Structure 1
Amino acid sequence: MNMILSEVSESLRRKKMMTFFLMLGILVFLLSVILIIISYVHLQEKESSVSSFKGLHVYRISDSLYEDSEFKAYLDEPEALDRLKHYYTYLEENLNETFIHVSQQPLFIPTDQIEIDESFLEGYEEGNPRPIYNDEYTVKTVTLNEQALNLFPIQVMEGETLTSEDFDHSNAPGQIPVLLGAAYSEYFEVGDHIKADYLFQEFELEVKGFLKENQFVSSPSEPEVFLDRNIVIPAQQFAEPNSEEEEGFQERHYFNLIWGAIYSESERDAVEAALEEAKAASRFPHAIMMGSPTTPLGQLFEAIAESIYWLLFIATVLFIVCIFGISMMLRKKIQDNYKNMMIHLISGGSMRQLFLYSVAEIAVLVGLPTILLVLVIMGFNVPLLVLMVIFLCALALMILAIIPLYLHFRRLPVSRLLKREE
């Protein structure tokens, strides 16, 4: 065994550059395999977590009061706010379809309550975080109606999730229960209260719980909104306003809430008919359906699937290149060392020993980068499945590199070469 290892070590040192690039190629191949597995697991987790979306179409709805003059004219009509509230309540409770409201309305929090970095601020993902203004942070929030909370797989790691009572503001006037993204856990605790400005109205937020990492929701405009650095606000239902200021706030609030989407298995005609019933029942004729229906999370799944396709393509190419490279290197070595091989045979050696030298060389070429990669990734708590797949890929690489080498040894004209050597 020592003699084999010595021979292999000497052989690899003689072709340092080729050895280096082959090992590098094998390492990149195995890395691409890891990325494929992680991407596939990620896709499967996403699909399983949003299984309730399967078979649904997304129909976006909004109000049709685009012009300021139209908006103001409606607010001057009798019972304008009551009809608006009735329309939203109908969407929530009587539509016989799933109405989802997901909005990202920024929230203003005084800087004396918390000191956070810019990753929590509105506009950070676009590379333009909102600066501090009037000693207030403009933080990211996601407002969800109750049906959205039930549809999306949002899980809490600490505290409690939101309940139906949390959507009714009359249960605790002036206070809104919220869920904080996982990244907020280092700044607040369950039960803390946060003063905040929402749509130019002051509220006190009560922290009910913290979300697990990598929780997300989806909207027609943005297929994946991660909540790690967001405040999740339940869409509040308010009682009759007591002042003009409160009435103005509720008008802004409810016009924001009626922008959403209907998630349905039905065709467009059936959904439009249901929307017309909602408009008639609430005497709110200013609702429309926008654009063509889409598929929930369709763009997200397509992007992940495309990434997996290209990773699989790269891994396949590298797999072929590695096999071809190893085989060619060892075949060239055999051709260049006919004389040494014949001396080995004349001295009492065997073809089996020569073949074992080459197999050992393949094992070292594949084994070293494999072991190195495994030692590195073990520090990241990767699943056992990933390690098993890496070893299986390395084993397959070795076997497929040995097969052409074995066939080459079988075709060697040993007797003729021995006569020539004599």
Structure 2
Amino acid sequence: MKQIFIEAKESLLKKKIFALLILVQATVFFFLLSVLFLHFNNVDTKTKSFYAQYEGKNIYQLSDELFNEKEQEYLSKDESLANLKNFYNTLNKSSDFKYLNTTTQPIGIVNFKGNKTFWEGYEDGSFPPHEIDGKKYEFVKSLQINKQVIDSFDLKLLEGNLFQKDDYIYNNNNKSIPIILGSDYQSIYKIGDEVEIDYIMKSLKGRVVGILKPNSVLPVRENIEFYLDKHIILPSFSIEQAPINKDDSTFQKRHYLQLINGQIFTEKGSLQVRKLIDEISQSTNFYDLIIIGANDTGIDIMFSMLKQNINLLIMLTVLLFCFCVVTIFFSFIMKWNINIQKYAIHLISGATVYNILGYMFWEIFIIISISVIAVIISITFIGFMPIAYYFIIILTGLAITLSSILPLYIKLKKLNISNILKKKV
């Protein structure tokens, strides 16, 4: 065994360019395989966790029809706030469906510590800083969510806590409201920090209670994959107290007007949902809304695309594997034509077919091992990989080695030594 290993090493050192080319090719292959594994693992994780919650479900969007003068006219009515509160509370407590409220209302922050990429509308060059009551507010991306969103989707935290039940109830005696930050805020604010907030023209104090893990997503209106990394998350709180003045009344009305523009998450069909919403409208005396039909087609398309992505990843992996095996095989065929007389002399000198095969095996194995180790070390800089990754990489390396050597074994078995020595082959 030692002699075979020495022979293999000497052969590689003599043909450095040959060995280097195979090494580069194998390294590129295993790097691509690692990238494919990460992508496959990401798709598979989402399919089993986030997307699995959509299977068999329909999502209906509620949208009020109060715009401009019609909105002003409605909000001027004394009973409008009570009707809006009753309508939202009935939706929120319904046992016939899940009511998800995800509102993308930007909030102002005094003395904001982040950069402009956190600003609402930064990508479009809008929403510059505003001054309110002598204080400079920078309006940043924000999302308000109700308890059902937290309960329905598995949000993971880097640190801190998610919203608790009491966080969804607000009164004027509250010293602060809890906020959860997207992962990009982790170097800007820490747990326990307080910030001054302007939310729908009302000054509030926010207290950081949690920071989300990177790439956290939620369904927000028509966007099934809404990334939260640059968002500040507020609870969609209910306000049990009656307004203390006209400004507070205006704030509560506008707040509840946002809360009723949510989504219904259910297995029920369109007719059943419309009937349920009609009943709620009648019992709460609020009728100014429409139901945007179920996007079950969109969900079906999403699942179909996920399956296609997985199939494409598998196909690409197989093609890369075959390409690597074939190119290594042909590389060794070229080397075979160069070293064929050397192999024949070894056989005449008492070496067996398996000894020659051993030289070739160790040549390939050494190259594959170096490329595997190099890729594994490089990938660890990205982060800890699942145990399955290491098994797959190592087993693939062995499979490539054995698959590459098999055709050479067949060729070696058919070798005619006398013809080789007479230079007829």
TM range (shorter): 0.7 to 0.9
2-side partners of 1:19 and 1:123: how far apart? 54
Q: Which moves more between the two structures, 114-123 or 301-310?
A: 301-310
Task: Give, in angstroms, the shift of residue 258 of structure 1.
Answer: 1.1
How far does the alpha carbon of each residue in 1:29-80 deviate from its partner, in whole angstroms, 9 at most, with x for none?
2223222332333234324433444321111111123x42322332344512
How far does the alpha carbon of each residue in 1:294-326 deviate from its partner, in whole angstroms, 9 at most, with x for none?
378767666655544443333222211111111
TM-score of the two chains, using structure 2 as the length reference: 0.87
Task: Give, in angstroms, the shift of residue 9 of structure 1.
Answer: 4.5
2-side partners of 1:18 and 1:237: how far apart? 71
Q: For residue 388 of structure 1, what is the aligned residue in structure 2?
A: 391
Q: For residue 363 of structure 1, what is the aligned residue in structure 2?
A: 365
1-side partners of 2:308 and 2:390: how far apart? 24
Q: For residue 108 of structure 2, what is the aligned residue in structure 1?
A: 108
Q: For residue 231 of structure 1, what is the aligned residue in structure 2?
A: 232
Q: For residue 242 of structure 2, what is the aligned residue in structure 1?
A: 240
Q: CA RMSD in A?
A: 2.9
Query: Conserved in 1, the CA contact under 8 Å of 2:110 and 2:195?
Result: no
Q: For residue 178 of structure 1, what is the aligned residue in structure 2?
A: 179
Gaps of 5+ in 1: none
How far does the alpha carbon of each residue in 1:251-303 deviate from its partner, in whole angstroms, 9 at most, with x for none?
22112111111000111111110011111111111121114433787676666
Query: Conserved in 1, the CA contact under 8 Å of 2:43 and 2:310?
Result: no
Q: For residue 22 of structure 2, what is the aligned residue in structure 1?
A: 22
Query: Conserved in 1, the CA contact under 8 Å of 2:169 and 2:237?
Result: yes
Q: For residue 69 of structure 2, what is the aligned residue in structure 1?
A: 69
Amino acid in structure 2 at the alignment position of 1:117? N
Q: For residue 138 of structure 1, what is the aligned residue in structure 2?
A: 139
Amino acid in structure 1 at the alignment position of 2:372? T
Q: Which moves more between the two structures, 35-44 or 301-310?
A: 301-310
How far does the alpha carbon of each residue in 1:367-389 deviate from its partner, in whole angstroms, 9 at most, with x for none?
22112112222343222221111
Identify which of 289, 292, 317 aligns with 1:290: 292
List aligned pairs for 1:11-410, cutoff 5 A: 11-12=11-12, 16-50=16-50, 51-65=52-66, 67-94=67-94, 96-111=96-111, 114-123=112-121, 126=123, 128=125, 130-134=127-131, 135-170=136-171, 172-173=173-174, 175-238=176-239, 239-294=241-296, 305-379=307-381, 380-410=383-413
Query: Conserved in 2, the CA contact under 8 Å of 1:25 and 1:318?
Result: no
How far does the alpha carbon of each residue in 1:1-35 deviate from its partner, in whole angstroms, 9 at most, with x for none?
66545544454456555544433332222223222
TM-score of the two chains, using structure 1 as the length reference: 0.87
Amino acid in structure 2 at the alignment position of 1:356? G
Query: Conserved in 2, the CA contact under 8 Å of 1:182 and 1:212?
Result: yes
1-side partners of 2:321 and 2:126: how far apart? 44
* CA pair 192-270 structure 1, distance change in 2 beyond 3 A: same
Task: Give, in angstroms, the shift of residue 132 of structure 1.
Answer: 4.0
Structure 1 segments, 4+ long, off by >6 Å, are: 295-300
Amino acid in structure 2 at the alignment position of 1:38? L
2-side partners of 1:172 and 1:155: how far apart? 30
Partner of 2:105: helix, strand, or coil?
coil
How far does the alpha carbon of each residue in 1:108-142 deviate from its partner, in whole angstroms, 9 at most, with x for none?
1111xx42233433245x47585444432222221
Give the number of aligned pairs.
417
Task: Give, in angstroms, the shift of residue 250 of structure 1.
Answer: 2.0
1-side partners of 2:114 and 2:214: how far apart? 18
Task: Give, in angstroms, the shift of residue 149 of structure 1.
Answer: 2.0
